[in-house]
Amino acid sequence: MKNSSVKTTKLGFKLWLSVIVFGLIGQIAWIVENMYFSKFLQNNIEPEPYATTLMVAFSAIAATLATVLGGALCDKIGKRKPIICWGYILWGLSTIAFAFIPVNISEETKIKMVALIVVMDCVMSFIGAAANDAAFNTWVTDISDTTNRGKIDIVLAIMPVAAMGVVFIGLDSMTSGKDHWGEFFTVLGLVPIVGGILGLFMLRDAPNVTKADTSDYWNNVFYSFKPSVIKDNKMLYVCLLGSMCSGASIQVYQSYLINFVEKTLGITDYVIPLIVIVLGSAVLSVVMGNLMDKYGKEKFYYPTIFVNVLGAVIVFCLKYVLGDKSKMLPLIMVGGVMVMGASLVMAGLFLGAFRDYIPHGKEGSFMGMRMFLFVLVPMLIGPGVAQFTINSVNMRAADGTILYPPELFLAGAVVVAFALIPAYFVKKNDKVIRAKLIKEKEEATK
């Protein structure tokens, strides 16, 4: 292992600060969309899983479309900063709009309210995806190389976990009833607005950014979906298939996670286990990120997938100790660290490898395909698997209230296990692309 190590490229304080600030702010905004819109819908409008499934699916389609269009625009104009900054500001405003949705509705208006929320969620997701998934992720590709992408993508993958901790600890109490949802959405909407304003002063585009080699914008839009491009860059797509399996696994249970802990497990004070899971998974993933950048990613694919599956099975075992808090908490913390930590490492592995294969000058154009396979497809597969699992188990309280079952995590384990197939091919080719990029880097610095 020592003989194959390389010196990793240092980003510097300013770049790391930008990565962390805009990564965290973006994920705080996405936490609202990914988890709290679901909680708001389930608790105040419609608890049946069809509503959540519709919201997740349509917002994923909107976000994918925005990333395809926004990524192509990044390449056409050769700039990322204005799309990031102004996009974050509009993202915050679209979140604040949810503060005006009424929570006391009649049975007759339920369907209309579900439709309104789905549409508003699509608008918010479109804006956020253009700013974050298209422009910000293109910017990250610009400033990184093969010797530091694993660590950077893991740090970015930690941001949703950190954002979850910030929101849970600081603002979750506002969502326990119906009275403070407006204030909750207002406060969370202000976060990306402040981020966008800060970005106008602190964010800088990478010096090596070039405009696309064609003036045809729509050619850039459809570039990564062309059969000839797929054929010429097949390993790039294999990497995304690995991240797709990981993302689909997370989507099986993510939208139901809060209500699973509060209602199914009966745990309302989950600050301590949350802190353990967040810190444990963050430390584990950062250590792994440093190692994979230094020694190569190929050594980490199989062990990471195995840990992910095992952790999900451990969380599923909560089924057999429901009501016994002394047994539930250790299982939650151990399984949670394993699942979350492994998911973060998988992001560094597959997405870092994906960035390695992107041709120079097409960084933005491939963000649409990244969104399609890493976000849209998982957000269609995951909730579909979840709804099938929930309906099959049909776990309900004495009063008929839906209880989201531990089997969701078992289903997630099955889904993530499919990542072993793309992992086989990515692992086999990782040494070749790594050696090629390191050689190009060394020649460029001579």
Write down the domain spans for the chain: 11-207+220-444
Look at the pTM and tell me if it is higher than 0.85.
Answer: no
| Radius of gyration of the chain measured on its C-alpha atoms | 21
Residue 359 DSSP class: P
As beta bridge partners, residue 402 has 396
158-202 per-position pLDDT tens digit: 887 788 778 877 787 787 777 788 888 899 899 999 999 999 998
CA distance 130 to 70: 5
Q: Residue 446: pLDDT above 70? A: no
Classified as helix, coil or strand, 314 is helix
CA proximity to 301, closest of 213, 419, 406: 419
Listing DSSP states for 140-173 in one string gives: HHHH--TTTHHHHHHHHHHHHHHHHHHHHHHHGG
212-243 per-position pLDDT tens digit: 666 678 888 888 889 999 998 888 899 999 99
pLDDT number for residue 2: 44
pLDDT number for residue 3: 41
Average pLDDT over residues 254-277: 82
For residue 248, give the amino acid letter.
A
CA distance 51 to 220: 35
* Helix/strand/coil percent split, the chain, to 5: 80, 0, 20
Whose structure tokens read 């696994």? 249
- Residue pair 433/357 in contact (Cβ under 8 Å)? The answer is yes
Residue 360 DSSP class: T
The half-sphere exposure of 198 on its side-chain side, counting CA atoms within 13 A, is: 11
Classified as helix, coil or strand, 134 is helix
pLDDT number for residue 214: 61
CA distance 268 to 321: 17
Q: Residue 312: pLDDT above 90? A: yes
pLDDT number for residue 11: 81
CA distance 86 to 66: 14
CATH superfamily of 11-207+220-444: MFS general substrate transporter like domains (1.20.1250.20)
As beta bridge partners, residue 396 has 402
What are the C-alpha distances in Å from 338 to residues 278, 303, 345, 406?
A: 11, 11, 10, 16
pLDDT number for residue 24: 92
CA distance 245 to 299: 19
Listing DSSP states for 191-232 in one string gives: HHHHHHHHHHHH----TT----S-S-HHHHHHGGG-HHHHHH
pLDDT number for residue 149: 81
332-382 per-position pLDDT tens digit: 999 999 998 999 899 888 988 888 888 877 888 888 888 888 888 887 899
